[in-house]
Chains A and B, each alone.
Chain A
Amino acid sequence: MSWGGNFDLAWKKIPVGKEFKKPEELVAFVEKETKFYKWYSGYYSQIAVLRIKKDGSEKTVNVTLIKGKYPPMYTPEERQKMDFDKLGEQPANILWDGEWNEIKPEDFPMNVMEVILPFDMSKVIYI
């Protein structure tokens, strides 16, 4: 997939220039830099575009991060137990099999030059 541009409209471009050894490190980095969208049906989401160096060349890849179940199709028993607010305090996961995800676990360790956060979070109001 392609964003069709140079990310001129991106909200934040963060120079990184380091190797993330495991997916968890990348997730922690993104969580530190931005809030997640809180979808009341039962999940949180965010997307990061990574400018990475692989096999001597640079490219951009998309990573989707999720907390909770995606899509949010919970059973009645799961809903009974779910604390939606507490879910937000848990670490996110990469949605490995999502349409917007272009990395795999075996891509780590990953040399990341830049993390681009496309969406402006400043006006979002949380319930």
Chain B
Amino acid sequence: MATFEKVSLEELNRFVVQASWNIPDVLSMRGTEGVNPLIPRQLYEILSGFDSFYRWNTFEEAIIDKVGIDGVAKMAKSAHDEIGTKINSLHIWCLLAVPFGTGRGVLGNAGILKYSDNSDAMRTIVTFYKVLEQNFRTDGNLWTAFGGYKTQLLNDKMLGTLKNSLEPLTAKTKASFSRFNASGELLAFFGHFDCRLGVSDQGPYDLGDGRLMIVRDHFVNEYHYHWTDVCEELPYVYTLVFTVDKSKMKRWIINDLSTSYPSPADYQPFITHACVFKRDKWDSSVQKVPLGTLDKISEQFDTCVTKLYTKFERMCDLEKALCGAWTYSVGMLLPFALRAGIYEELCDKYGMWNNIPMVFKYFYQVNDIAVAALPKLLKGEGWVPLIP
């Protein structure tokens, strides 16, 4: 087992304090959305808390063991010259927020665990997060919010390549691009069980010519999940690159969840140029997609959404809860495990997909816990630091 220096208790608690402000910033209004009659979101979020709190440190230590801390740092830096990758702000943020939030926060609130439990594991989790975030971000900050709500990752070479690939939009291609954007985003949400892990924005990049450029990934076929078999004809990811007229935008905020909040909200009339890329698999090469093919692809997206809706309607709550929990407990670590070349080992040797028995022990009680505790968590409560 590789040794590495873990953050001190003081530093860990500092993260927790800042996280307790960050959570309501990004999620407090999400807490108003209520119950989803199709997908038991709150339920699966809490179930994923068990696995993330009790086991993520083991998986992360296995990753560090394989590639070293330098290897973890290198993974984070890959975001500087690649597009269409899940090494993004949201996935890194989740590695801290989920074990502390839906894990420790909610389960501690419910009395299922003590706040002092597992403190050494929490230090691994924060260390892993810190190494990733420090090497991922380019402005020395640990939260997007502290970096002026910008996620500017790409190096000049990559930015130049994307800028040179942009095409001016006609009325027709603009309509096609808008539809492709909306349909792809919906499918990406759907395939990830209504969480944001399938969608990621970065930018805004000021091109210096009156345009702001946004780079947006839609992971429309996360083929590591069994339910996305209906999407098997689609590539793993489409990356949309587009520019907006800077003079028409009051602000373009991108938060820690890799989510854009433009002002005005209806930014689409101000899109000037666009281009689209794809990767067939997570590690395939990036290929350009002609704008003239977007309408046909959008139809494929719509068909996949309809098929997924029918599929989910047929699932019982237990199955939907487990699938959703996997998008967190497996899905959030997935890009790092794949890049470290250790995903198969985490599945076979460590049983990453096999939820710990606590999940099943508490399954029928968790819904009441979720309804009571999750809204509190989304407001930033339940983040009491460790007792030394």
Contacts and interface: CB of A to CB of B under 8 A. Distances in A.
Query: Does B bind A?
Result: yes
Interface of A: 1-9, 37-41, 43, 45, 47, 70-73, 99-100, 118-119, 123-127
Contacts of A126: 148
Interface string B12-31: 11100110111011101101
B32 A73 contact: yes
B41 interface: no
Nearest to B252: A127
Interface residues of B, number: 43
B194 to A, nearest CB: 21
B99 to A, nearest CB: 18
Contacts of A1: 384-385, 387
Contacts of B28: 41, 71-73
Interface stretch (B3-11, B290-298, B304-312): B3-11
B8 A9 contact: yes
A125 B141 contact: yes
Interface stretch (B228-236, B314-322, B375-383): B375-383
Given A125-B141, A127-B148, A7 B379 contact: no
B262 interface: no
Given A37-B21, A119-B18, A127-B251, A73 B8 contact: no
Given A72-B28, A99-B384, A37 B13 contact: no
Contacts of B150: 125
B79 to A, nearest CB: 19
A127 B14 contact: no
A7 B13 CA distance: 11
B379 A71 contact: yes
B146 A124 contact: yes
Interface of B: 8-14, 17-18, 20-22, 24-26, 28-29, 31-32, 139-141, 145-150, 251, 253, 255, 261, 378-388
B140 A2 contact: no
A3 B22 CA distance: 19
B29 A125 contact: no
B379 to A, nearest CB: 4
Contact of A45 (B8, B21, B32, B378): B21
A5 B14 CA distance: 11
A8 B146 contact: no
Given A99-B383, A124-B141, A5 B26 contact: no
A40 B10 contact: no
11 contacts: A2-B386, A4-B8, A4-B10, A9-B8, A43-B25, A99-B20, A118-B17, A119-B14, A123-B141, A124-B141, A125-B148
Contact of A71 (B11, B253, B380): B380
